[in-house]
Each structure stands twice: as C-alpha cells, then as structure tokens.
A = this chain, B = another copy of it.
Amino acid sequence: MAKTEDEIFKFKRPGVAVDVILFTIKDGDLQAGLIKREEPPYSGKYALPGRFVRYEEQIEETARQALKIKGGIDPHSVFLEQLYTFGQNLERDTRIRTISIVYYGLISANQIYFQKGNKFQWFSVYKLPQLAFDHKNIIDYAVNRLRKKVWESDFAFQLMAEEFTLTELQKSYEVILNDKLDKRNFRKKILEINILKDLHKKKMEGVHRPASLYSFKKAK
C-alpha cells in the first residue's frame, strides 16, 4: 500500500461489484431472489442482483442499492451480512475483470408481498434455474454458511413476521437446515437462549388448541 499516486494509477484496475443473495421462506421452501438477464452476457439466464461499487459508496450501501434498483426491495427492511469476495475467476464477467463482494440477506415473505416494486423471481434453492456467471457456486456457498450460522446467530428472526408461534419458528429452522427437528428439544433450546418475548397472546387459527405468540427481543 506504500505507493505514490503515480503508482496507484499507472496500472489498469479491475472493477468491483457487490452481488446480493436474498433469501426468504416461501411455500415451505428456502428461496432466493433472482433476476432474469435481458442482455449479454448470459442473456436469458438468471443472476443475483448486483451493482458496481461507486466511488463514494460504502460497500454495504452498494448491496442495499442493488436490492432497491434491481429488485425493487426496500433495502432498510433487509438483514445483510458479508459472505465472501470472489475474485479468482478472471473470466467470471466477460466484459471486464470483476471482483465480486457477495452479501447474503434475509427478508420475511410478508415484507415481499407488500412491496409491489418487487422484481425478483423467487426460486427454491433446491430447484434453481440456469444461472449466469458463477452464481450457482455462490448460492451453494451462501446456503452452507446460512446453515452453519443459524444456531450461532439470531438472524432466523429476520424471516419471521412480527409475531409468530414457536411452531412457525421451528418450520423456518427446518427449512434452512433441510432437516426435521424435535419439537421439545427445539423449544427448550430456543427458550433457553432468552431472545423470545412471550406476548401472552394466542393465535386462534384452525381446529386445534391455540398457539402462544412470541416476538423477539430487540437488542439495544
């Protein structure tokens, strides 16, 4: 980094983009928001929303702008975390050598329904369409990271409505992990970590005993 300004500018610089993989749970499935490309390269294939980093833009801001502009999603309602920076494949983008900083995000299905600018098409991560660039690898990588972190972090709440039942929360974990969980063990574990607030309200729905509603305690 000890360079004069001359040195900094004397060589050709790669481009830097941010790509975002936005997850939600829809139809009992873990889904990712993708955009159909209308232009080459990879015209007709699906891609993660992305955007080149502007000179005065923080990189997380670039990610949020990509969601807004490419996906029509209100970027403030999205939990985002940096995933990895992909810069190995020099052929990744055929127009220009591009380094891609990838973020992954979570949004609850409710929030999507209410945002009518939403331009994403949602695909189950188990049934992805043909993808542009190396986006298939990126999605696989993100799903793995999501699974590793789901117990260490409370981000699964980003997928929930404001009020939810324990069974609904368990379903989200099961969808992320792609595995069945034991009801009693799940409740024990999730209540132990003390991030749930019992709203002392019941959800009356269906022909069965009503379920308690919870929200999660916001960190201060």
Report the minimum CB–CB distance from A202 to chain B (whole Å): 41
Partner of A59 from the list B53, B85, B96 (CB cut-off 8 Å) is: B85
A183 CB within 8 Å of chain B: no
A53 CA to B85 CA, complexed, in Å: 13
Q: Which residue of B lies closest to A133 (CB)?
A: B1
Q: How far is the CA of A35 from the CA of B37 in the complex (A)?
A: 46
Q: Are A95's CB and B2's CB within 8 A?
A: no
Alpha-carbon gap, A38 to B2, bound state (A): 8
Query: Is A155 an interface residue, CB under 8 A from the partner?
Result: no
Size category of the binding interface on chain A? 35 or more
Q: Which residue of B lies closest to A96 (CB)?
A: B8
A73 CB, nearest partner CB in chain B, Å: 16
Distance in angstroms between the alpha carbons of A59 and B101 in the assembled complex: 12
Q: 19 other contacts beyond A59-B85, A87-B101, with CB at 8 A cut-off?
A: A1-B19, A1-B47, A1-B93, A2-B35, A2-B47, A3-B52, A8-B52, A13-B15, A13-B53, A13-B55, A14-B54, A14-B55, A16-B16, A16-B99, A55-B97, A58-B88, A58-B90, A82-B84, A82-B85
Residue numbers of A with Cβ under 8 A of B are 1-5, 8, 11-17, 19, 35, 37-39, 47-48, 50-56, 58-60, 70, 82, 84-85, 87-88, 90, 93, 95-99, 101, 132-133
